[in-house]
Amino acid sequence: MKNIRLLFLCVSFLVFLSGISTAKTTIEDGLSVNKLTLYVQDNAEVIAPDIYGHFAEHLGRCVYGGFWVGEDSDIDNVRGIRRDVVTALKKLDIPVLRWPGGCFADDYHWKDGIGPRDQRPKTVNTHWGMVTDTNAFGTHEFLDLCEMLECEAYIAGNMGSGTPQEMRDWVEYMTFAGDSELANLRRKNGRKKPWKIKYFGVGNENWGCGGSMTPEYYSELYKHYQTYVRNYPGSKIIKVACGPNGNNTAWAESIMKNIGRSLHGYGQHYYVQASQSWYGHATQFDETEWFALMKKSLNMNDIILRNKEIMDRYDKNKRVELYIDEWGTWWDAEKGTNPRFLYQQNTLRDAVSAGIFLNTFNNHCDRVKMCNIAQISNVLQAMILTDGAKMVTTPTYHVFEMFKVHQGADLLTNDLTCNSYKHDKKTLPSLNVSASKADDGSINITICNLDPTKPADFKCDIKGFSPKTVSARVLTAEAMNMHNTFDAPNAIKPEVFRGVSVKKDMILATLPAKSVTVINVK
């Protein structure tokens, strides 16, 4: 009996290990040099490009005034969509864009947003400030934006206040190429060919603003609604179920148990702040708040591990995908703005947090296949801020531009041994990394130095690869709260990093404090 019990424990431990990330970080205080070991191997996991996705909701000035100004605007636009915003976003190689929410999605009725704009009904945005939505930006405008960005569309469907027929009709309207009343209505409204919709969300945050449901009730409702999200000829839609909020493993367990066999994937949401009880100021903070954000950003790794453990029990073949389709920092709205518009600035602190998240998603790319940062403009951890005709890119924008080298690349297993970052008798690993091999054979390494005061001496050994040349860029600043403004749009941006070299097949660098660095090795 004792041997059987021991065997059971060993098998259980191996199953547990199978769900652990390919990244392993060890903290050893007093190291003169932090060491990263990378392993180049065949049959590596591919980092899905859709991990670098984005999110746009009818919230505050994300849509209206963010990227939509209308065709009659004095601001340069293409069919009502700001040209400068599209130009900036295209530099990120955005793979997928989620719309129209968010909480807004479960109050959105798609027929309000089609047809001549001057005939569309005005509706109330009950979630975000009780403001009037003209519905000038609807299905056609969103999918036009996706085509401009050359990205996939992720539609969030209305389960909360909508019907299965409404969801079914929307899918037919968008994707059916044949002769039907809805397809012909699409043609009448200016779109002859059907669109390709890659992802369709069956509800959003149904544990909260999407209906205050229990996971058991949602599971039954999901089976009902998803039946009517049809794959019309030439169309194949990935259906996305509502996943848990933060670390709600009970919701994840129930979803996998009740509807795991009918799922393509489910969407987890995770926002981070500097405190449990308040959001905090976006630009005025101290090191205690910096440390708290770094800790919460690192917690994304543990949350994914817990989800993977649950998923592995019900889906050993890894058929079901994990999506983090809302994530990012959440601060108090900027003073003088509508608090329900969630407009916040974006500093170096947000950039380092974003780098931690993206490294984590990369390292779990065996299950994590799509992620969507919130949001693309003027809301929460935005890529872009606008003020009338003015536009500025944020530090987080620059992180996405630096990290785009990982899209579609082969993940490299990594072992990291680093010093701890200590503050107020608490410790975190000082460094956070991921690495990949591109199609051209080059290696890209992205490294966050979480310590805001100490640079990090660093060396990297790549097993199975002999480095010849190395180049790098770094995002950092003198102050933790450095950010770009309309008057100083380039206060913080990536710079060429010359503090990296190759010596005896070893990559050597001294990483600046509070920095995000990308190293390219050939």
Active-site residue set: 205, 326
| Contact of 403 with 518, CB cutoff 8 Å | yes
Alpha-carbon span 88 to 149, nearest angstrom: 10
Alpha-carbon span 40 to 382, nearest angstrom: 35
How big, in percent rounded to 5, are the helix, strand and coil portions of the chain?
A: 30, 30, 40
Alpha-carbon span 218 to 252, nearest angstrom: 12
> Could you give the C-alpha distances from 384 to 84, 167, 192, 395, in angstroms and in order?
10, 31, 32, 9
> Could you give the C-alpha distances from 478 to 348, 481, 507, 514, in angstroms and in order?
10, 9, 25, 9
Identify the three-state secondary structure at position 10: helix
Strand partners, 82: 77
**Helices 164-175, 215-226: crossing angle, 10 deg rounding:** 40
Alpha-carbon span 203 to 212, nearest angstrom: 12
Which DSSP symbol is given to 505? T
| Contact of 406 with 478, CB cutoff 8 Å | no
